[in-house]
């Protein structure tokens, strides 16, 4: 009994030593240890990721994202709760439908895993409820955009606009206290857009072909609202390194990239900007 009590006190002291982050979503404030927050937001992220996966699969087909209950593409069976547990169902079913054995889209699994990773990573660095909310809103949007560009070389204007508008909303909310705080997002948007748009115009004039997607410039402009001008430069450097590493990987795998190889720059920028966000916090 005595040792149990001592262990409890030790556990409480251990908890108090861990940095706690305050979650202020509702009128109550709950303090979670860093590990608990990472686990909780990892699970939440997997659930968000399952919706992002549905968007990733349905948007390019022109289907509504919320299209009633999910069903198997192979046999048409309506999926039950056991088929829809994020990450876990895919692993237990080994990526196949329980009834007809048709392969479940592995991009769905990638989105769920990515959503969980974003949730856990943001919870790992968040200082308070505000940075937590900002990080999640940014990370999950970047995940969907990055996966869409990776799979389809497509950065839908609508989604980039939502990324820009949500960043602007946060910036305006912060600017209500200190209008000077608005200069970062404004400058970031301008630098982010121009830094890719100008070279793209020059390249087109010189070679007569599109070297960069216009979507990439818009994406970096939207990222600039969130990260500011310095964040844009860091994102561009980081994204270039990701792109070069990917090209080197393809070359090693025997697929030689050339000037016409379409590289999903948007995916590289999404990944790099999320890393920059994590490092800024």
Residues that bind Zn ion (CB under 5 A): 72, 74-75, 97, 99-100
Q: In the bound complex, what is the minimum distance in angstroms from residue 99's beta carbon to Zn ion?
A: 5
Q: In the bound complex, what is the minimum distance in angstroms from residue 70's beta carbon to Zn ion?
A: 11
**Helix, strand, or coil (residue 197):** helix
- Does the CA dihedral 235-210-161-172 come out positive or negative? positive
In whole angstroms, give the CA distance from residue 152 to residue 154. 5
* Nearer to Zn ion among residue 103 and residue 255 (C-beta): 103
In whole angstroms, give the CA distance from residue 281 to residue 135. 9
User: In this structure, are residues 275 and 138 in contact, taking their beta carbons and an 8 Å threshold?
Assistant: no
- Does the CA dihedral 62-66-69-71 come out positive or negative? positive
* Nearer to Zn ion among residue 72 and residue 116 (C-beta): 72
Say what angle helices 106-125 and 129-152 make with each other, to 10 degrees. Answer: 150
Q: In the bound complex, what is the minimum distance in angstroms from residue 74's beta carbon to Zn ion?
A: 4
* Nearer to Zn ion among residue 98 and residue 151 (C-beta): 98
Q: In the bound complex, what is the minimum distance in angstroms from residue 97's beta carbon to Zn ion?
A: 3
* Nearer to Zn ion among residue 74 and residue 211 (C-beta): 74
């Amino acid at each position: 009994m005595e040792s149990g009590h001592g262990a409890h006190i030790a556990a409480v002291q251990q908890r108090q030593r861990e940095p706690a982050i305050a979650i202020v979503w509702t009128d109550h404030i709950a303090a979670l240890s860093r590990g608990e927050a990472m686990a909780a937001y990892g699970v939440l992220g997997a659930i968000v990721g399952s919706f992002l996966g549905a968007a990733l699969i349905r948007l390019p087909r022109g289907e509504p994202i919320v299209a009633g209950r999910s069903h198997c593409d192979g046999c048409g069976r309506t999926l039950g709760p056991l088929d829809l547990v994020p990450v876990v169902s895919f692993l237990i079913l080994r990526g196949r439908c329980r009834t007809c054995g048709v392969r479940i889209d592995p991009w769905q699994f990638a989105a769920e895993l990515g959503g969980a990773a974003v949730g856990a990573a943001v919870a790992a660095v968040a200082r308070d409820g505000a940075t937590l909310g900002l990080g999640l809103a940014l990370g999950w949007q970047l995940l969907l955009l990055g996966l869409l560009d990776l799979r389809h070389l497509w950065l839908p204007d609508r989604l980039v606009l939502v990324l820009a508008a949500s960043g602007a909303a946060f910036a305006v909310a912060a600017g209500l206290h200190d209008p000077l705080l608005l200069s970062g997002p404004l400058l970031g948007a301008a630098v982010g857009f121009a830094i890719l748009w100008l070279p793209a115009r020059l390249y087109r004039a010189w070679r007569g072909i599109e070297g960069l997607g216009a979507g990439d410039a818009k994406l970096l402009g939207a990222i600039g609202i969130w990260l500011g001008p310095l964040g844009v430069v860091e994102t561009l450097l980081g994204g270039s390194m990701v792109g070069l590493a990917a090209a080197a990987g393809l070359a090693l795998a025997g697929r030689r990239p050339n000037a016409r190889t379409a590289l999903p720059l948007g995916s590289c920028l999404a990944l790099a900007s999320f890393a920059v966000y994590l490092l800024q916090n």
